[in-house]
Amino acid sequence: MKQAVVGAIALMASTVTVQAAETVPGDVDYGEYGEVQQSLTGAPGDSEAGREVVSNRALGNCVACHAAEALVDVPWHGEIGPVLDGAGSRWSEAELRGIVANAKMMFEGTMMPAFYKTEGFTRAGDAYTGDPAPEDLPPILTAQQVEDVVAYLMTLTDE
């Protein structure tokens, strides 16, 4: 009986998946060229959810600056950012994660906003009052949304 209980506990322990804690914006580890090797969530991104973030003007609004053949159903693509077609072939997953989290770490002077940053720049104020926001504002995208966008961009290959 004792062996059966010990065996059952060992089996349960081996099937439990430990998920890493979410990396907060200030703790993101950028590489020498702006790449981010480690997932911000410890969980894989969902490419379908990433497509929603990329194409939705209320979320990432990537289409305000970027165009992509895969997003032909989304109107009003921008022309100031690079075309997203082939992004998964041009950049590695770590590079794409770095670009989405904070493109300025990789491309100095870029107009692309830092989607996963909360400090080190001037943030929006409190509506049209001219006053600062009443509390710290969250990043534009959550860590999971960044991972979802990266998963989606990895599907946009030249193959």
Contacts made by residues 109-116, CB under 8 angstroms, sequence distance 24+: 111/65, 111/80, 111/81, 112/65, 112/81, 113/140, 114/139, 114/140, 115/60, 115/139, 115/140, 115/141, 115/145, 115/146, 115/149, 116/25, 116/28, 116/40, 116/140, 116/141, 116/143, 116/146
Average predicted confidence (pLDDT) for the chain: 85
* Model pLDDT, residue 133: 73
* Model pLDDT, residue 138: 85
Q: Above 90 in pLDDT, residue 130?
A: no
Domain architecture of the chain: domains with CATH: 20-155 (1.10.760.10)
Q: Any idea which of 8-17, 67-76, 80-89 has the lowest mean pLDDT? A: 8-17
* Model pLDDT, residue 123: 60
pLDDT class for 121, splitting at 50, 70, 90? low
Query: What is the value of pTM for the model shown?
Result: 0.81
Beta-carbon contacts of 135 under 8 Å, excluding residues fewer than 6 positions away, are: none
